[in-house]
Amino acid sequence: MDYTYRDIARMIDHSLLSPALTDEELERGCRIARDYGVASVCIKPYYLKRCAEILQGSDVLPSTTIGFPHGGHTTATKVAEAKQALDDGGIELDMVVNIGKVLSGDWAYVRDDIRAVVEITHERGGMVKVIFENCYLQDEHKIRLCEICAEVGADFVKTSTGFGSGGATIEDLKLMRKYSPPHVQVKAAGGIRTLDALLEVRAIGVTRVGATRTVEILEECKRRLGIV
């Protein structure tokens, strides 16, 4: 094996974004993420403050979404969401681009929209993952978004919300890695349900995945590594 348990666990953002999740399920999900030592919990915004309390004292980071899931919020609303999330203890913010503006080719708007969230988040020591929602885009859009994210200092580019018509594909991940500079990391979301799927994207340079089947993935990792 060319990986340790921690290598794999620290690639996972445990996703708690389903609209039907109850408070009890969110609480339990945060505790699972802490017990398994993943990278972060990505949780519905209203529960972020409680999530940060649960994760306090661990190295699992609280995170949430901005402009979710369609990206059509005004820039001012996205900035306000980011400020609230940071006030509530958020460290990593997953923001959705304005998909309609991308398809319209209004790149100045798209750049300013991303830049505004990146700037307020970086001022407070946080990180931003920019969600493209690739299922609606052509390669030319994805490439231009990679260029813009590099230009404005985004920390990650991310394939999907998990709520669009498609999730992460190997072809998209290779393209995003190719057109992003080394300091911009790539996150795969939507469809990473097994350890083998995670290892496949890891091999092409993906450093983070969004996952709901965290327990299954990490229990399989333990089994293969012979961890009791």
Q: Tell me the per-residue pLDDT of 22-68, one tens digit each, with 9 for 90 and over.
A: 999 999 999 999 999 999 999 999 999 999 999 999 999 999 999 99
Check if the beta carbon of residue 217 is closer than 8 Å to that of residue 201. no
The pLDDT of residue 141: 98
Q: Catalytic site residue 101?
A: no
pLDDT of 103 higher than 90? yes
Active-site pick, 78, 101, 129, 187 = 187
CA 197 to chain centroid: 17
Distances, alpha carbon 206 to alpha carbons 117, 170, 187, 222, in Å:
23, 10, 6, 21
Burial class (CB in 10 A: 0-12, 13-18, 19+), 228: exposed
The pLDDT of residue 2: 92
What does the alpha-carbon distance between residue 72 and residue 100 come to, in Å, rounded to a whole number?
A: 8
How confident is the prediction for the chain on average, in pLDDT? 97
Active-site pick, 94, 113, 155, 172 = 94
Using pLDDT thresholds of 50, 70 and 90, give the confidence band for residue 73: very high
Using pLDDT thresholds of 50, 70 and 90, give the confidence band for residue 1: confident
Q: Catalytic site residue 172?
A: no
DSSP helix/strand/coil, 211: strand
Full DSSP string of 51-77:
HHHHHTTSSPEEEEEESTTT--S-HHH
Task: Please give the structure tokens belonging to residue 189.
Answer: 């979301």
Check if the beta carbon of residue 97 is closer than 8 Å to that of residue 158. no
A 10 A CB-CB count for 50 gives 17
The pLDDT of residue 79: 98
Query: Quick check: pTM over 0.75?
Result: yes
**What's the mean pLDDT in 72-98?**
98
**Cis, peptide link before residue 62, omega less than 30° from 0:** no
**What's the mean pLDDT in 200-222?**
98
pLDDT of 228 higher than 90? no
| pLDDT tens digits, one per residue of 110-130 | 999 999 999 999 999 999 999
Q: Catalytic site residue 13?
A: no
The pLDDT of residue 53: 98
DSSP helix/strand/coil, 81: helix
Active-site pick, 78, 155, 158, 172 = 158
**What's the mean pLDDT in 1-27?**
97
